[in-house]
Chain A
Amino acid sequence: MSRIWHALTALLSHWRRKPLQLTALLGGLMIATALWSGVQALNAQARESYDRAARTLGGDAVPSLALPGGIEFDESVFVALRRAGWPVSPVLEGTIRLGETRMRILGIEPLTLPAAARMTGETSGPVDGALFEGFMAPPWRAFAHPDTVAALAGEEGLPPLTAQRDLAPTLLMMDIGAAQAMLDSPGRISRLLLDPGMSAPATPLAQATDLPLEWRETDTQGDLDRLTKSFHLNLTAFGLLAFLVGLFIVYSAIALAFEQRLPMLRTLRALGISARMLTGVLLVELLTLSLLAGIAGVVGGYVIAAALMPDVAASLDGLYGADVPGTLSLELSWWLAGIAISVLGAMGAAGYSLLKTYRMPPLASARRQAWRAAQRGWLRVQGALAVLLLIAAAVLMLFAEGLVAGFAGLAALLLGAALLLPPALALILRAGQGAARGPIAQWFWADAQQQLSGLSLALMALLLALGANIGVGTMVNGFRDTFTNWLDQRLVAEVYYNARSDEDAATIRAWALAQDDITALLPTLNATTRMDGLPVTVVGYTDHPTYRTSWPMVAIAPDAFDRVATGEAVFASEQLATRLSLSVGQTIEIDGWTATVAGIYPDYGNPKGQISAEITTIAKVFPTARRGGTGLRVAEGRTQAVISAMRERFDLGDNLIDQAALKGYSKGVFEDTFAVTAALNVLTMGVAGFALFMSLLTLSEMRLPQLAPLWAAGVTRRGLAGLELLKTLAMALFTALLAIPLGLAVAWCLVAVVNVQAFGWRLPFHLFPGQWAALVALAVLTAGLAALWPINSLRRMPPVRLVRVFTDER
């Protein structure tokens, strides 16, 4: 035991002399763990919210009766159905805003609630009296998640809140009477819950009520997990990328420490420490360091996740309508998993060095040159491996199907390109040396080649960060351009409104037709159906020049609008066309109605498939179709006047929207959606910069034998520092230039493979040379900043340290 302790003390003493190397090791591991566990925290938090939302009122297990499109109906239907022997329970759902927070209100009727819809903590009896005390009568107590109870403390206009851990954090559950009052929907209900174990009532549904109620087997909230899968996969991919970049730093620090400690390891072997014990002691040392870094990294991950959580919550809300809280609450298992990933990452990064230690003969110094020769051989193997990975990436992207295959292709592309970087740079540097004239220039290129092995990992990290940045940036900028253009074309009507009832709709329509400022009314009808098992929204639109001139299409038949107007054809959204492999000219059947696909249109941001057809046709095919929003074309310069008049005359509230506000909101959702991606992009670049900085700093100590002869030959320390800086900048520049084709390949994969698999639409591929130039400049600047400290140290180095190179026997 004492032997192990003394050997460990000797090994640890190395770090005291090389604190920067220790910082690189701990820092790299900490950053890797922090970014990985931060992303996992975001995913875990969101998934827990989906689960909670799906569990509310029994989730998928409890069927319900509702009108198509979720239109509210009168509570008299509930009474009629109960009288007809239907064991239904009414529910009213809606949202309210409390300051900046949007809360979902869920009104229930506890006395008739099916057993499967009860919350944890409720007894098996009809109603737990204690739990629901004060719930169905004043003070109209409501249930909410403990965090929500704490967050809403002191908020006026709310009933007293009781904490209930099973609820989603943005949900208030209350008696249906209280909910009707709070949502200003007296006597209305959204749906009727059914007991899943009920026997068929004697009176059929159609006889019990006139309303076209639909039997829903599943709750739409249960689909959130599937819908948001691609978003979380994207986050995970970024987290993994950052983790790998961090591990590059760790690998680099460990490999360097091994190189520098080689004489010490050899001495320890000579003094009687066996290879097995030495490896064991190194393992203990690594375990200790990785535990320390893991704990710090997990804390860092929590900080990162807490900072990004509001953006993630906004993205998920904007994209999928998913209620995710903007704050974090994490399980113990998350903390332990973070520390474990740090330890496993460190072990993985150190595996090769540990194996070398175990196999190292005591006379290792005699074979050092041979090891370097083996490194040159490894460069060839690395090149071959890179080519294989790039071939695999191409095969996966071009021929494999599915989101996971898309991301696997992306991973193979990034890894292959990273592995190919050192051989590619070696070729460039060799070409530079061949073209160089003069001794200093020749030394410059030759020395850069020698320095390459020490810097290659950091440069690979930089390449990955830049490639991901260019790829994601190209995708997001292309998406932004396309989306903005699409919004401009799609939202042509100046004003949109949605009447609260059919009576209101008729009144508003009559008024609008009488207004000179309003040049056209464009009502819509909505229905839902399924095609090949997929949920599809059917939209009926009014045939009008507005649509004929401005509706953007991906593909369209020559006489498409005329054919759709006659009711023989439809337009399909790109998502639906991709999922069902539809093309223009193809015949489809929708609920018994046969129509031809006359055009395919983009429908960004909509996770469901959509069919659009002429409104009177839809009214015939789907008699239960509900009234959708109506667009108003307004004479130029009269929009605000029309809005003001409508606000004054009708109670439309948030249901009256002007086009500019709608566009602004849509663009805001877009920017929120990619805010997290942008933040992770910046963090990955930061990690790569840190990797470069630590590599340069640690390498600078080993560079003296290469620099001292030049100094002795008459190059000043200032001149040497300038040459070193130039070399670093040149390497960063070459890496950044090589990152451009990589980034474009990544962008193509995201646009043409991942996006299509995840969302069902393909974006046009735009190039942004300005972004490349900015990133190349940023990479060179990062390298320059990273090199500043070591270069400055060299410039100010006392001559005695350079002299020692010639006198130091070691």
Chain B
Amino acid sequence: MLTIRTLAKAYPTPQGPLAVLRGLDLDVGAGQSLSLMGESGSGKSTLLHLVAGLDSADGGSIHVGETDITRLDDAGRAALRRQRIGLVFQQFNLIPSLTVAANLAFQARIAGRHDPAWQNTLADRLGLTDLQDRYPEQLSGGQQQRVAIGRTFAMRPDLILADEPTGNLDEESGDAVMHLALNLVAQTGCTFLMVTHSARLAGMLDRQVTLVQGRLA
């Protein structure tokens, strides 16, 4: 599902370019869940952003299925995210001016595959049925993250990229959110790539890899 070859990325700094990814190779099979660990600055989030097409690589390739993201322009990368990739952020990134229901439906709608029945199922599974008319600011952190997960699954993505999705939650809420997310991953059969600092959460996934200075350890 995801094939990465000799991926390189550096950021300009006043002291000169700072290499974050140095020829990274990675393969993740369809339906597989994988945790990405490493110290701060090891390149985890950068890798996730490059896979999501939020940033562009300096070298190497990233194939999602048959598509090489590194060869796409901005519109192409946006279309790929819209149709095939779901993102879950540590800071939820809900649209504050839309209700829970509108947030849940949003990405599915812009992908052109909104399914009200599936949305209701998701709301039910995520415990959001009674919160649909509320706005994000009226929800707790855990509830907001559940909406963000629901929004991602509502468009039935092939690949979900999660950047420390429980980083802003307490352990109990974080565990609950993780269980819900992994259940949905199992049910939908999508590929799941998660950045985390927690070995305990990483242990819940099929496979764990660690990044050290821009390469897999």
Binding site for B on A (CB under 8 A): 2-3, 6-7, 9-10, 13-14, 16-17, 263-264, 266-277, 361-363, 809-810
Q: Complex formed: what's the CA distance from A215 to B96 in Å? A: 79
| B102 / chain A contacts, CB cutoff of 8 Å | 9-10, 13
Q: Which of B52, B85, B96, B102 has the most CB of A within 10 A?
A: B96
Q: Is the CB of A263 within 8 A of B97?
A: no
Minimal beta-carbon separation of B136 from chain A (angstroms): 9
Residue B107, interface by CB 8 Å: yes
Q: Is the CB of A17 within 8 A of B106?
A: no
| B96 / chain A contacts, CB cutoff of 8 Å | 17, 263-264, 810
Selected A-B contacts with CB under 8 Å, 30 pairs = A3-B109, A3-B112, A10-B95, A10-B97, A10-B102, A10-B106, A14-B97, A17-B96, A263-B93, A264-B97, A267-B95, A270-B54, A270-B81, A271-B82, A271-B107, A271-B110, A272-B78, A272-B79, A272-B80, A272-B82, A274-B78, A277-B78, A361-B54, A361-B55, A362-B53, A362-B55, A363-B49, A809-B92, A809-B141, A809-B168
Q: Complex formed: what's the CA distance from A667 to B49 in Å? A: 75
| A274 / chain B contacts, CB cutoff of 8 Å | 74-75, 78-79
Minimal beta-carbon separation of A456 from chain B (angstroms): 27
| A809 / chain B contacts, CB cutoff of 8 Å | 91-92, 141, 168
Which residues from 46 to 102 on chain B have a C-beta closer than 8 Å to any C-beta of chain A?
Answer: 49, 52-55, 74-75, 78-83, 85, 87, 89, 91-98, 102
Q: Is the CB of A272 within 8 A of B95?
A: no
Q: Complex formed: what's the CA distance from A547 to B154 in Å? A: 96
Q: Is the CB of B54 within 8 A of A273?
A: no
Q: Is the CB of A6 within 8 A of B81?
A: no
Q: Is the CB of A7 within 8 A of B97?
A: no
User: Considering only CB atoms, which chain A residue lies closest to B80 in the complex?
Assistant: A272
Minimal beta-carbon separation of B95 from chain A (angstroms): 5
User: Considering only CB atoms, which chain B residue lies closest to A10 in the complex?
Assistant: B95
| B54 / chain A contacts, CB cutoff of 8 Å | 269-270, 361-363
Q: Is the CB of B87 within 8 A of A270?
A: yes
Q: Complex formed: what's the CA distance from A274 to B106 in Å? A: 15
Q: Is the CB of B97 within 8 A of A273?
A: no
Q: Complex formed: what's the CA distance from A164 to B145 in Å? A: 75
Minimal beta-carbon separation of A557 from chain B (angstroms): 74
Q: Complex formed: what's the CA distance from A2 to B78 in Å? A: 16
Residue B212, interface by CB 8 Å: no
| B168 / chain A contacts, CB cutoff of 8 Å | 809
User: Considering only CB atoms, which chain B residue lies closest to A261 in the complex?
Assistant: B97
Residue of A14, A270, A276, A277 touching B93 (CB-CB under 8 A): A270
| A362 / chain B contacts, CB cutoff of 8 Å | 53-55
Q: Is the CB of A2 within 8 A of B97?
A: no
A2-B112, A272-B78, A276-B74 given; A267·B55 CB < 8 A: no
| B19 / chain A contacts, CB cutoff of 8 Å | none
Other than the given A3-B109, A7-B110, A271-B110, 15 more pairs (CB < 8 A) read A2-B109, A6-B109, A9-B102, A10-B97, A13-B97, A16-B97, A264-B96, A270-B87, A271-B82, A272-B82, A272-B111, A274-B74, A274-B75, A362-B55, A809-B168
Q: Is the CB of A273 within 8 A of B141?
A: no
Q: Complex formed: what's the CA distance from A332 to B93 in Å? A: 48
User: Considering only CB atoms, which chain B residue lies closest to A17 in the complex?
Assistant: B97
Which residues from 13 to 51 on chain B have a C-beta closer than 8 Å to any C-beta of chain A?
Answer: 49
| B98 / chain A contacts, CB cutoff of 8 Å | 10, 13
Residue of A2, A13, A269, A272 touching B107 (CB-CB under 8 A): A272
User: Considering only CB atoms, which chain B residue lies closest to A3 in the complex?
Assistant: B110
Q: Complex formed: what's the CA distance from A14 to B98 in Å? A: 8
Q: Complex formed: what's the CA distance from A275 to B102 in Å? A: 22
| A16 / chain B contacts, CB cutoff of 8 Å | 97
| B109 / chain A contacts, CB cutoff of 8 Å | 2-3, 6
User: Considering only CB atoms, which chain B residue lies closest to A1 in the complex?
Assistant: B112
Chain B 151-171 against A: per-residue CB contact (8 Å), 1 yes, 0 no? Answer: 000000000000000001000
| B87 / chain A contacts, CB cutoff of 8 Å | 270-271
Q: Complex formed: what's the CA distance from A263 to B95 in Å? A: 8
Q: Is the CB of A363 within 8 A of B55?
A: yes
Q: Complex formed: what's the CA distance from A14 to B53 in Å? A: 26
User: Considering only CB atoms, which chain A residue lies closest to B111 in the complex?
Assistant: A272
Minimal beta-carbon separation of B101 from chain A (angstroms): 13
Q: Which of B54, B78, B92, B93 has the most CB of A within 10 A?
A: B78
Q: Is the CB of B49 within 8 A of A272?
A: no
Q: Complex formed: what's the CA distance from A809 to B90 in Å? A: 10
Minimal beta-carbon separation of B93 from chain A (angstroms): 4
Minimal beta-carbon separation of A121 from chain B (angstroms): 61
User: Considering only CB atoms, which chain A residue lies closest to B90 in the complex?
Assistant: A809
| B74 / chain A contacts, CB cutoff of 8 Å | 274-276
| A276 / chain B contacts, CB cutoff of 8 Å | 74-75
| B107 / chain A contacts, CB cutoff of 8 Å | 271-272
Q: Complex formed: what's the CA distance from A693 to B184 in Å? A: 50
User: Considering only CB atoms, which chain A residue lies closest to B152 in the complex?
Assistant: A271
Q: Complex formed: what's the CA distance from A503 to B53 in Å? A: 100
Q: Is the CB of A270 within 8 A of B110?
A: no
Which residues from 104 to 119 on chain B have a C-beta closer than 8 Å to any C-beta of chain A?
Answer: 106-107, 109-112
Q: Complex formed: what's the CA distance from A274 to B94 in Å? A: 18
Minimal beta-carbon separation of A12 from chain B (angstroms): 9
User: Considering only CB atoms, which chain B residue lies closest to A269 in the complex?
Assistant: B78
Q: Complex formed: what's the CA distance from A13 to B95 in Å? A: 9
Q: Complex formed: what's the CA distance from A16 to B53 in Å? A: 31
| A14 / chain B contacts, CB cutoff of 8 Å | 97
Q: Complex formed: what's the CA distance from A101 to B49 in Å? A: 76
User: Considering only CB atoms, which chain A residue lies closest to B93 in the complex?
Assistant: A267
Q: Complex formed: what's the CA distance from A657 to B93 in Å? A: 81
| B82 / chain A contacts, CB cutoff of 8 Å | 3, 271-273
| B106 / chain A contacts, CB cutoff of 8 Å | 6, 10, 271
Q: Complex formed: what's the CA distance from A509 to B80 in Å? A: 102
Minimal beta-carbon separation of A399 from chain B (angstroms): 46
User: Considering only CB atoms, which chain B residue lies closest to A278 in the complex?
Assistant: B78
| A266 / chain B contacts, CB cutoff of 8 Å | 93
User: Considering only CB atoms, which chain A residue lies closest to B105 in the complex?
Assistant: A6
Minimal beta-carbon separation of B9 from chain A (angstroms): 12
User: Considering only CB atoms, which chain B residue lies closest to A260 in the complex?
Assistant: B96
| B49 / chain A contacts, CB cutoff of 8 Å | 363
Minimal beta-carbon separation of A744 from chain B (angstroms): 46
Minimal beta-carbon separation of B91 from chain A (angstroms): 6
| A277 / chain B contacts, CB cutoff of 8 Å | 75, 78
The 7 closest A-B pairs by CB, nearest first: A272-B82, A13-B97, A274-B78, A272-B81, A362-B54, A274-B75, A267-B93
User: Considering only CB atoms, which chain A residue lies closest to B108 in the complex?
Assistant: A6
Q: Complex formed: what's the CA distance from A272 to B92 in Å? A: 16
User: Considering only CB atoms, which chain A residue lies closest to B107 in the complex?
Assistant: A271
Minimal beta-carbon separation of B156 from chain A (angstroms): 14
Q: Complex formed: what's the CA distance from A17 to B49 in Å? A: 30
